Structure 1
Amino acid sequence: MERFIQRVSSHIEHVNKVGAHCISEETTKQALILPMLDILGFSPYDPTKVQAEYGSDFPGVKATERVDYALFSNGTPVLFIEAKAYAQDLTNHCPQLSRYYNATPEVAVAAITNGREWRFFTDLVNRNIMDKDPFLTVDFEAPQEDAAEQLFRFHHDKLEAGALRAMAEENIYLSAFREAITSSLRECDVDFVRYVATRASIQRQLNARFLESIQPLVVQAVAQSVSSMVATSLSRPQKTEEAPPVVVLSDEDAPIIDPDNEKIITTPEEQKLYQICQEILPGEDLSMRDTETYFSVVSGGKSNRWLFRFWGDKRRPAIQFIEPMTESHNIEAQRAGLEIGKNGRIILNKPEDLYRLAGILRDALMYCQNDENFRRSSRRVESDDE
């Protein structure tokens, strides 16, 4: 472990020294990313551990859609890495990274890096679907004290999917709790002041005027308490009380009823499908259309250019894309672990499964955007509309 920490420390110094000279993505890979993979036990010279431009095992993918690096353990891909140039912002990571991740269940982690910053993703929200937010970010320009210890979890000899997911969940919760606590202490808003007054058993009516009057005192008390905790090295209270779970209801949980036809009800699942569709195809002219029989998402506001139709049957909800399913589409759906029913429909047990069909959805959009597909008299007969 000491040797590993030393190597990481030396690499951080190297990145900060030569990073500005890594103008291109290829230079960043060679000078900054591959050395880090070697430190993690994934020798770039060993094809059983590292494969560049990985994509040969993914059916239906375009030649340009490849993962920069796939890291292997015991012959199985365990971590995908998308590489960017040193100066490039990582905020909008490449869509194909999530597509590869979603279609490869054995991969536990995906990462995107520009050599100086590493962002790691897993599937805490929905299993086998890459989360939108990273569970760990390591920035070599301002490294945390435990950066090496965090990275050690990704070492070839230590990499274990269950342990990584547990660490990811822990990091997500810690980050959220820390942000909430910091915000509460800094702002000392009325809710926090009321909480403190209640815990302090103040024998007064906690109306707005009183809470406003004691707010400066709470701010002062917070500052003194934090200083005292730091001085005495207290990290946690002697006794904790388990808070009851909080259930948050939002308008997203409610169905939308058509004011002109009460039989047309757009369910929360259908609304979620539309939201996911927008996330996969950002910036496209999409709209949702609902009928008594099925729900659809259309392109350009034209009802005949539907990307997909969804039947929300409680037992076997199914989706069908406008473009006839090709062999590569079938393979992509099967690889995603989804069942293909009759007439090319795919069983979609939950809206989030649409993430795993991102490639087919993009092909459906291209089909809708090609006017030739709607000029031919021999175009597809929609015999299964109803």
Structure 2
Amino acid sequence: MDFIDQIRALASRVTAAKDILQTEEATKNAMVMPFIQLLGYNVFDPLEVTPELIADVGTKKGEKVDYAILKDGKPIMLFECKKSGGDLHINHASQLFRYFHVTEARFGVLTNGLVYRFFTDLEKPNKMDEKPFFEFNMLDFRDQDVEELKKFAKSAFDLENILTTANHLKYTRAIQNTLTDWMVNPPEEFVRLVSAEFLAGKHFKSAVKDQFTLITRQAFQQLVGDKINERLKGAMTPEPVLVPEAALVDSPQAEDESFVPSPVELEAFQIIRAILRPVVKPNRVNIRDAASYCAILFDDNNRKPICRLRFNNESKLVVGLFDESKNEEKVSLESVDDLFDFADRLQACVTAYLKPASGKEAADVAVI
């Protein structure tokens, strides 16, 4: 199993367990230890992963860091754990700060089993930074995040390589956060900058400021939305496939080769792929046009429907969900984000397709 598939499998288990784990110890056993094991470190070998490492710090005696990952007998990474979903404010990392200072470890990890924040000493040598240079969210990660996480795996661990990219990651993340804030609340200096061509010679009075702040916010958000839709349309462009004539004759419905999902259908499709990511790879979830809806299919098989997007009237969004008997239930949505409320049902539907079908089940299928 590839590293990313292992991450997805663990993410699926974490999603199921996150709300029932009430203590730090339960979180460590069910979430953090499997995460460390996934990175290739043997959690049952104290010479490789030492739980509750003790290192006296000044007048502080007997304090323990939750886990220390060792290489050649020396700590290279320190983990401080909070209970599932617990606050990860830097003020709660006091032990991590102290242990980072007195050990040779160059990386400190603060986690609640869902989010892992990686720290190092970019600002001052041997003093852990207050801001992480990398964050990995088990419930929301990209392929790029997995590639960065893989650098901490036992088989790939290279201190200098990680430190070389740490600065870049830290400032990239900081700039992204700033731009995200600006997209919602553009500061006056930014509004002045992007509006300078139109405001030449005009006084930046309150009314003008309010008008162009609103325009800047809308333009920023529309630009980002357009870029996302462009990428989605590119991802949705099918590769040419040679289909035998017999298959076209027997097909209950020939596909419309010019079919292009609407922006809201594309957004819903990507949300569904994200929901199903812990269960199957995204390329196994496909979209196909039908007379009155968009069909979301497993393995592009019209006998394996996942759901139906009945978005012909975008002011009234309806999704068709299937039960074990392939009966469709139509559910109204306020917005496509409401699809997350049905994550369990969508995942259960695909999980059922992954199981070998019995004779009756194989015959009892829905045809779109």
Structure 2 CA distance for aligned equivalents of residues 224 and 27 of structure 1:
44
1:82 aligns to what SS in structure 2? strand
Tell me which amino acid in the other structure corresponds to 2:27.
T
Structure 2 CA distance for aligned equivalents of residues 13 and 212 of structure 1:
45
Q: Would you say the 8 A contact 2:117–2:135 is kept in 1?
A: yes
CA RMSD of aligned residues (A): 2.9
1:158 aligns to what SS in structure 2? coil
Find the counterpart in structure 2 of residue 62 from structure 1: 61
How far residue 69 of structure 1 moved from its aligned partner, in angstroms, is: 1.1
Structure 2 CA distance for aligned equivalents of residues 27 and 103 of structure 1:
28
Matched, 1:11 2:4: no
Structure 1 CA distance for aligned equivalents of residues 127 and 174 of structure 2:
21
Structure 1 CA distance for aligned equivalents of residues 105 and 171 of structure 2:
23
1:167 aligns to what SS in structure 2? helix
Q: Would you say the 8 A contact 1:41–1:157 is kept in 2?
A: yes
Q: Would you say the 8 A contact 2:55–2:99 is kept in 1?
A: no
1:138 aligns to what SS in structure 2? strand
Structure 1 CA distance for aligned equivalents of residues 190 and 161 of structure 2:
36
**Aligned counterparts, 1:192-341, within 5 A:** 192-198=190-196, 200=197, 203-208=200-205, 211=209, 214-233=212-231
Q: Would you say the 8 A contact 2:85–2:113 is kept in 1?
A: no
Structure 2 CA distance for aligned equivalents of residues 165 and 125 of structure 1:
12
How far residue 229 of structure 1 moved from its aligned partner, in angstroms, is: 3.6
Structure 1 CA distance for aligned equivalents of residues 217 and 114 of structure 2:
38
How far residue 70 of structure 1 moved from its aligned partner, in angstroms, is: 1.0
Alpha carbons of structure 1 residues 217 and 35: separation in structure 2 relative to 1, 3 Å? closer
Find the counterpart in structure 2 of residue 161 from structure 1: 159
Structure 1 CA distance for aligned equivalents of residues 222 and 81 of structure 2:
46
Matched, 1:27 2:38: no
Alpha carbons of structure 1 residues 225 and 72: separation in structure 2 relative to 1, 3 Å? same
Alpha carbons of structure 1 residues 190 and 28: separation in structure 2 relative to 1, 3 Å? closer
Find the counterpart in structure 1 of residue 176 from structure 2: 178
How far residue 110 of structure 1 moved from its aligned partner, in angstroms, is: 0.6
Show structure 1 runs of 4+ deviating over 3 A.
Answer: 56-61, 141-147, 200-207, 209-234
Identity of aligned residues (%): 29
Structure 2 CA distance for aligned equivalents of residues 141 and 228 of structure 1:
26
Find the counterpart in structure 2 of residue 43 from structure 1: 42
How far residue 164 of structure 1 moved from its aligned partner, in angstroms, is: 2.5
Q: Would you say the 8 A contact 2:107–2:118 is kept in 1?
A: yes
How far residue 50 of structure 1 moved from its aligned partner, in angstroms, is: 0.9
Alpha carbons of structure 1 residues 190 and 84: separation in structure 2 relative to 1, 3 Å? closer
Structure 1 CA distance for aligned equivalents of residues 55 and 180 of structure 2:
47
Structure 2 CA distance for aligned equivalents of residues 18 and 62 of structure 1:
35
1:31-78 per-residue CA deviation (whole Å, 9 max, x = no partner) reads 221111111111012222111121257676412x01121101122210
Structure 1 CA distance for aligned equivalents of residues 126 and 92 of structure 2:
18
TM-score under structure 1 length normalisation:
0.53
Range that drifts further, 84-93 or 116-125: 84-93
Find the counterpart in structure 1 of residue 361 from structure 2: none
2:2 aligns to what SS in structure 1? helix
Tell me which amino acid in the other structure corresponds to 1:23.
Q
Find the counterpart in structure 2 of residue 103 from structure 1: 102
Structure 2 CA distance for aligned equivalents of residues 219 and 86 of structure 1:
36
Structure 2 CA distance for aligned equivalents of residues 221 and 84 of structure 1:
41
2:182 aligns to what SS in structure 1? helix
Gaps of 5+ in 2: 233-368
Alpha carbons of structure 1 residues 169 and 30: separation in structure 2 relative to 1, 3 Å? same
Find the counterpart in structure 2 of residue 139 from structure 1: 137
1:178 aligns to what SS in structure 2? helix
Gaps of 5+ in 1: 235-386
1:123 aligns to what SS in structure 2? coil
1:101-158 per-residue CA deviation (whole Å, 9 max, x = no partner) reads 0122x21101122222222211122111011222222232334454432321211122
Q: Would you say the 8 A contact 1:73–1:156 is kept in 2?
A: no
Alpha carbons of structure 1 residues 88 and 202: separation in structure 2 relative to 1, 3 Å? closer
Structure 2 CA distance for aligned equivalents of residues 28 and 223 of structure 1:
38
Structure 1 CA distance for aligned equivalents of residues 113 and 100 of structure 2:
21
Range that drifts further, 84-93 or 65-74: 84-93
Q: Would you say the 8 A contact 1:124–1:169 is kept in 2?
A: yes
1:118 aligns to what SS in structure 2? strand
How far residue 8 of structure 1 moved from its aligned partner, in angstroms, is: 1.2
Find the counterpart in structure 1 of residue 87 from structure 2: 89
